[in-house]
Chain A
């Protein structure tokens, strides 16, 4: 049965800063529907005169949380919707949303292949939903996140990822910082490349299921490199965003 996705009026329950440019918004949804990790919501803004703007934002929260979702949004300087969300929206405000949307870039805890998640910048958001879903569902499949950020301060969900990494849940987290690194940095310090992907992917074996989300160049580089090291194309799912968005 095909479902209809109607616009609904969500209320903003909470706003949490993640980094200088990134905030998470908890939306309470009157017609909440369980999502699949990796899906997104459309957000629509309407001005007094009827002018409207829409954007899509990935869901960050796990599907197990009922009645609400978190979306994590990067503020695009020249943006239209992200600037509104960051600069105007306060808890208690109402906002139009519809979703969940998307049927391919999704991971279910029942897919028990080893999981390799590759993120660039705010591309980590839908992958975080997968990681949180995995934890909530108690899945045991070996899972690895390779996450590229510019600077240490730009890493989204750093503390939560650290906690997961140290809690023996079978999640490995590798960071790479491409622009600057703190003095005692032990992670990678370069753009994603074939050697890095090989190092990180090898222990996961050949049946690994890969999700890549980030800027086009990173996704292209990572997907091409993975194909080269022998991972099947149909085990690699990608979601890309360019410099536009907003």
Chain B
């Protein structure tokens, strides 16, 4: 560990945030932008081929087409988002379907403990089931009152606001319920398995 009392000579800091600074997790800075970070090209699935599926430890696989998905009850969300690349954006306005709503349609095996979200382009990310239920996550179709742009994960992105933003899978096509945890794309490439920004869980063993 670096010594606790290290001070950077002549550093004052911008200290953006004012009275909102208590909402900025450690090591993060405030932005009004919506930066794009993805590991590869933006996939584009035509909406008539799009489905969202709940699979794995469920009695029967459940699947929605785009048209069916649009019939599900939507909710509005205003949430703070933190990205491991250090930006935090407060009060981001989303609209989407709560994961609780989706899970009501599935008969979960009692051994289901973990969720892997999977996406077009092969991206995966893992979260404990207890981190996505009870209003903690949703499948977003809109951002800032507009359909979610492809580079931000449209048509649908799973948003888990209380974890670093890579846990919010872009281009999400479904979730797989599992008994055992399985590290996803970034979780296998040096990034923290749980990713709580308030605990600064950025990288392995943080």
The answer on A and B forming one complex is yes
Q: How many B residues, CB 8 Å from partner? A: 46
CB distance from A192 to the nearest CB of B (A): 14
B179 contacts across to A, CB distance below 8 A: none
List the one stretch of A146-154, A155-163, A229-237 in contact with chain B: A229-237
CB contact under 8 A between A216 and B39, given known A45-B8, A84-B11, A103-B189: no
Contacts of A104 in B (CB 8 A): 39, 185-186, 189
Given contacts A51-B15, A216-B35, A233-B121, contact A56 B41 (CB under 8 A): no
A224 partner, pick from B8, B33, B42, B122, beta carbons under 8 A = B42
From A48, A54, A234, B122 is in contact (CB under 8 Å) with A234
Interface residues of A (CB under 8 A from B): 2-9, 42, 44-48, 51-56, 80, 84, 88, 93-96, 101-105, 216, 219-220, 223-224, 226-227, 233-234, 236-244, 246
Q: Decide yes or no whether B176 CB sits under 8 A from chain A.
A: no
CB of B131 closer than 8 Å to a CB of A:
no
A contact residues around B205 at 8 Å (CB): 2-5
| Contact present for B41 and A226 (CB under 8 Å) | yes
Q: For the complex, give the distance between the alpha carbons of A220 and B15 in Å.
A: 32
Partner of A80, one of B6, B29, B122: B29
Q: Which residues of A contact B11 (CB under 8 A)?
A: 45-47, 53, 84, 88
* Interchain CB contact under 8 A, A5 and B204: yes
Question: Which residues of the partner chain B approach A101 to less than 8 Å between Cβ atoms?
Answer: 190, 203
Q: Are A53 and B87 in contact (CB under 8 A)?
A: no
CB neighbours of B85 from chain A (8 A): 56
- Docked-complex contact B190 and A102, CB < 8 angstroms: yes
A227 partner residues in chain B, CB cutoff 8 A: 41
Q: Say whether A53 contacts B12, CB under 8 Å.
A: no
Distance of B93 from chain A, by nearest CB (Å): 18
Q: Give chain B nearest CB distance to A122 CB in angstroms.
A: 15
Q: Contact at A54–B86, with CB atoms within 8 Å?
A: yes
Contact code string B1-37 (vs A, CB < 8 Å = 1, else 0): 1110011111111111000000000111101011111
What would be 9 A-B contacts, judged by CB atoms less than 8 Å apart?
A2-B204, A5-B204, A6-B2, A46-B7, A53-B27, A80-B14, A80-B29, A94-B6, A95-B8
Q: B45 within 8 Å of A by Cβ?
A: no
- Which chain B positions have C-beta within 8 A of A7? 1-2
- Alpha-carbon separation in the docked complex, A105 to B40 (Å): 9
In the bound complex, residues from chain B placing their C-beta under 8 Å from that of A242 are 33-36
Given A2-B205, A56-B85, A102-B189: A44 in contact with B27 (beta carbons within 8 A): yes
Residues on the B chain within 8 Å of A233, using CB:
40-41, 43, 121
Q: How many angstroms between the C-alpha atoms of A228 and B39 in the bound complex?
A: 18
Chain A residue, CB-CB nearest to B185: A104
CB pair A240 B41 closer than 8 Å: no
B38 at the interface (CB under 8 A from A): yes
How close is B9's CB to chain A, nearest CB, in angstroms? Answer: 6
Query: Is there an interface contact between A224 and B41, defined as CB atoms closer than 8 Å?
Result: yes
CB distance from A242 to the nearest CB of B (A): 3
| Bound-state Cα–Cα, A243 to B34, Å | 9
Question: Does A237 contact B35, Cβ atoms closer than 8 Å?
Answer: no
Q: Give chain B nearest CB distance to A185 CB in angstroms.
A: 30
**Residue pair B6, A46 in contact (C-beta under 8 Å):** yes
